[in-house]
Amino acid sequence: MAGAPSSTLARLTIRILCLLLLALLPADAARVPLSLAPDAGAADALLKLKSGIKDGGGGALASWSPGTSPCNGDGSNWSGVMCDKDVVHGLQLEGLGLSGTLDLGALKSLPSLRTLSFMRNEFAGPMPDVRELSGLRAIFLSGNKFSGVIPDDAFAGMGSLKKVVLSNNNFSGPIPASLADAPRLLELKLNDNRFQGKIPDLKQEELKEVNLANNELEGEIPASLKSIQPDMFAGNTKLCGAPLGAKCEAPPSPSPAPKAAPPTSDKAGTSPSPPALEAAAVSAGTSADGAKPEEAQEPAAGSMSYGVLAAVLGTLAIVGVALVALQRRRKYSTKNFGPTASVRPLEPQPPAKVEASAAHVAAAPGAGGGVEGEERGSRAAGGGKQARKAEQGQGRLTFVRDDRGRFFELQDLLKATAEVLGAANLGVCYRATLTSGHSVVVKRFKEMNRVGREDFEEHMRRLGRLSHPNLLPLVAYYYRKEEKLLIHDYVPNRSLANLLHGEGRGLKKAVVHWNARLKIVKGVARALSYLYDELCMLTVPHGHLKSSNILLDARYEPLLTDYALVPVMNQSHAAQLMVAFKSPERKLFGRSSKKSDVWCLGLLILEILTGRPPAYDPPKAAAAAEPAAQNSNDLVSVVGSTPEGEWLDTVVDPDMRGEEDENKEEMVKLIRIGMACCEANVESRWELKAAIDGIEVLKGKDRGTEEQSFYSSVNDDDELDDVAIN
């Protein structure tokens, strides 16, 4: 009999769950056609928005006229309107001198609207109400005259929001707390305003770019933002903590509370306070006045059912969270960079000597307690001679930048939290987040035994002296005979390869305009020219120039990595993996030339213009025998076999085929330069200086700020959990 109520409650709970699911299904089904159907009344909605805007007499919105359609397939009939299959997808009204009122409520009837950009106009007044546009991915309002306090719930319920750019306005008051609840936030720029108070705890895992500089913020920077570069907080004199390095003052100790006088009572002794009395009464099943409440006399079946239902739903939620956590743990390998007594090594099977070295460093004086402390004590008792001998065996961390100083030690690196960024062909790459909050990238090489220790260290010092805005500087290195670590600053925007081609399921490649591509080409060419001037003694000053070795900083300026490593790489390993060793002269004559890097530059130019990854190795013999099986990634053959008059229609990346005619002419010129750099005959191939001179004279019709050149990457599909540039 005791089990009967339990089984009855279980059956009742199952029925309630089924009813809830049945009640939810029709609502979801009703919402599906809304997201798939074309926008209804898009013209009316946009004309209503236009009615509050003053275009300054420039006629910027002259094409927005009644009786016409905003979209024409994927093209647009109205200026500044972004379309996708006859559906309004975004608005890009930038630098047009617009003012007046932004009535964004008029756009509620555009369910497919994803992007709004009104940057560099003359709009003033309070923050426009964007909350009702819950499907927005990106909001760009920088460079206007907006002012006042933004409501705390301004971004509430915007679960798809990825980018918020409000910089260079006159906003004041606290940063809206609802930004901390936007789960997919990737980029937040609030710099150059008058925001006040403390920074919200922004815990979004994907949030990589934050700029809060030049405001009036105060207090300690949240731990979730300690990996952000310090200059992103500059100009806030009252901020403290990592990564600024300014210590936060400890709050004053509270004064001892005066002892409360014992409560009086009509009866002898003391009586509990009213809240305590109520709690005691409830626990005994009586109210504060002594009466037994009706609810306590007999538990109602309905309340028990709701309790069981809550327990079941809670259990399901816990299981769901556990599954998500397990998936993320599989996706990200985030552990301690250096082994400790309680954490396994970062790599599945690291060499035993490396493991022992890390354990020794963790057990050095000042490293910690517990097992490590005991080992530390035993080693300290061994004397200084033994310690020095062990230090020689474990290697050392050497900084090579005179302008950086020594801002961490080897034991800090070994204790850092590390995330595997990838296993490149030259070695494994990690992001190590130090306890100070600063992040560095550590590349582990095992094929660098070509030269001895002295020659290796001399070459690293030579690299440390290099300084160019388009080179990622070497910060430090760690030398051991078995392996070497090269340490650089962490760059959050990933690589040019990721920008052009996307990465992994659900990540869509960005829409990159001509101006942005030309800027990247010029930066790469300038950095390569600098390497040729500074390392003229090397036959191949770079050696591994490819899109995955070009990182992008916060302004999407290119930063070359893995340069000048040929002198210290094992030749067999370099010949197998490094791009310069794939050049035609290397394959024909077994040696590289001063123009091997030029060949790599030519392939990179073709990759940037076509949007296709290149094939550095020749096609297989079987495939080469069949003309139909031509490798579409053999860019030199594809471009060379296409008449020049057809390049813009068949070779150039489709994302750029809507560019201005002036830009298209420049594209053709750059393709010619790329082909001249890829000549198989070394004598016919252009010199680097000729290529750079040709690149420098190229220009692009201004599209506005550099940021504009990239932001349209938020044109993502609802079906994919894709990510804009980050």
Q: Which of 211, 246, 281 is the last residue in one of the domains?
A: 246
Q: Are 70 and 77 in contact (CB under 8 A)?
A: yes
pLDDT, tens digit (0-9, with 9 covering 90-100), for 429-461: 888 888 877 889 999 987 888 888 889 999 999
Looking at the fold, whether 575 and 712 belong to one and the same domain comes out as: yes
The residue out of 220, 246, 272 marking a domain boundary is 246
Q: What is the pTM of this model?
A: 0.51
Res 21 pLDDT > 60: no
Summarised one tens digit per residue, pLDDT across range 100-153 is 999 898 898 888 899 999 988 999 999 999 988 888 999 999 999 999 999 999
Question: Amino acid identity of 48?
Answer: K
Domain extent at residue 646: 495-726
Angstrom distance (rounded) from CA 386 to CA 210:
47
If asked whether residues 485 and 507 sit together in one domain, one would say: no
Please tell me whether residues 687 and 578 are part of one structural domain.
yes
pLDDT at 466 over 50: yes
pLDDT in tens, 253-312: 555 544 444 444 433 333 333 333 333 333 334 333 344 333 334 444 444 444 545 555
CA dist 665 and 671 (Å) reads 10
Q: Mean pLDDT across the chain, nearest whole number?
A: 74
DSSP, collapsed to helix, strand or coil, labels residue 598 as helix
Shared domain check, 227 and 159: yes
Question: Does some domain include residue 267?
Answer: no
Say how far apart CA 319 and CA 311 lie, in whole Å.
12
The 3-state secondary structure of 220-264, one letter per residue:
ECCHHHCCCCHHHHCCCCEEEECCCCECCCCCCCCCCCCCCCCCC
Please indicate, yes or no, if residue 360 is contained in any of the structural domains: yes
Read off the pLDDT of residues 396-410 as tens digits, 9 standing for 90 and up. 789 998 777 788 888
Could you tell me if 358 and 345 are in contact, meaning their C-beta atoms sit under 8 angstroms apart?
yes
Same domain, 564 and 584: yes
| CATH number assigned to the domain comprising residue 724 | 1.10.510.10
Domain with 427 in it: what CATH number? Answer: 3.30.200.20
Q: Could you read off the pLDDT of 689-722 as tens digits, one per residue?
A: 999 999 999 988 765 444 444 444 433 433 333 3
Is position 296 within any domain? Answer: no
Show which of 246, 264, 284 is a domain's final residue: 246
Measured CA to CA, the distance from residue 175 to residue 166 in angstroms comes to 11
Model pLDDT, residue 13: 55
Query: Is 302 a domain residue?
Result: no
141 occurs within a structural domain: yes
Task: Tell me what the mean pLDDT of segment 225-241 comes to.
Answer: 87
Q: Which residue in the block uniquely carries the two structure tokens 């936030």?
A: 185
Same domain as 507, residue 459: no
- Residue 29 in any domain: the answer is no
Torsion of CA 65, 71, 75, 78, to 10 degrees: 20
Residue 328 lies in a domain: yes
Tally of domains in the chain: 3
CB 643 within 8 A of CB 686: no
Report cis status (omega within 30 of 0) of the bond before 243.
Answer: yes
Same domain, 342 and 397: yes
Kindly tell me if the per-residue pLDDT of 314 is higher than 80: no
Say how far residue 258 (Cα) sits from the centre of its chain.
52
Three-class DSSP labels, 645-691: HHHHHHHCCHHHCCCCHHHHHHHHHHHHHHHHHCCCCCCCCCCHHHH
Please list the residues that pair with 241 across neighbouring strands: 246
Residues 476 and 500 in one domain: no
Q: Is residue 54 part of a domain?
A: yes
pLDDT at res. 584: 92
Model pLDDT for residues 321-370, shown as the tens digit of each residue: 555 444 444 433 333 443 322 233 333 333 333 333 333 333 332 333 33
* Residue of higher predicted confidence among 53 and 302: 53
Could you please report the per-residue DSSP string of 130-146? -TT-TT--EEE--SSEE
- Highest-confidence range of 72-76, 575-579, 617-621, by mean pLDDT? 575-579
Closest CA to 237 of 212, 255, 261: 212
The pLDDT assigned to 247 comes to 80
3-class DSSP state of 389: helix
Q: Same structural domain for residues 482 and 503?
A: no
Q: Which amino acid is at 633?
A: N
Q: Where are the beta strands (DSSP E) in 245-372?
A: 334-336
Nearest Cα residue to 650 out of 665, 664, 639, 658? 639
The closest alpha carbon to 501, from 606, 608, 429, 603, belongs to 608
Is residue 511 domain-shared with residue 448, that is, in the same domain? Answer: no
Strand partners, 476: 399, 487
CA dist 383 and 611 (Å) reads: 61
Please answer whether residues 83 and 75 qualify as being in contact, where contact means their C-beta atoms are separated by less than 8 angstroms: yes
Say whether both 366 and 501 belong to one domain.
Answer: no
